[in-house]
Amino acid sequence: MSTDSSEPIIYNSIYRHGVDEKRRLQIPAMWRPSSSAIELTLILWPKHSAGACLRVLPPKEMAELMRDIDALPNNDPNKGVLKRFIGGQSVQVTVDKVGRICIPEEMAAAAAVKDEAVLVGLLDRFEIWNPKRYDAARAADAVLSPQALNMME
């Protein structure tokens, strides 16, 4: 698979990696941007009953999210809430020479990512989970998957 910037990266599969004492996490080679100048956006994502995780958006997906929020009517109070939430709960990171990102301390604590993390592909982005939280999320997803899969027919 190419990681050329003209071709999108497909984030699929599940990986389990250790997190070192500096909160550096290895990104799978197939998921790495082609240039070290490309920044990924980490967002603390609290929208799962299993607990918060970190959602990781490549530049194209972050730009689309910003466009979607900007397209909301200015008189919609949710627009300001979303801008403050996404702006305040996100950070740009780059992949270092050996393929790692560094998770900020507060984000790692909020997502309970310490010694080990599970990276889950969402096709156009990926998530970083505490392994126990991911097991709970996966169990909850298993209950909903028959209904979700019916959407594909």
Confidence of residue 6 (pLDDT cuts 50, 70, 90): low
Per DSSP, the residues of 114-148 read SSEEEEEE-BSSEEEE-HHHHHHHHHHHHHHHHHH
Write the pLDDT tens digit of every residue in 41-66.
Answer: 999 998 888 899 999 999 999 999 99
Domain ranges of the chain: 14-150
What angle, rounded to 10 degrees, do the helices at 77-88 and 59-70 form?
160
Write the pLDDT tens digit of every residue in 81-92.
Answer: 999 999 999 999
Q: Superfamily for 14-150?
A: Transcriptional regulator MraZ domain (3.40.1550.20)
Ranges 45-49, 77-81, 112-116, most confident? 112-116
Query: Above pLDDT 90, what percent of the chain?
Result: 78
State the sign of the Cα–Cα–Cα–Cα dihedral 53, 56, 57, 62.
positive
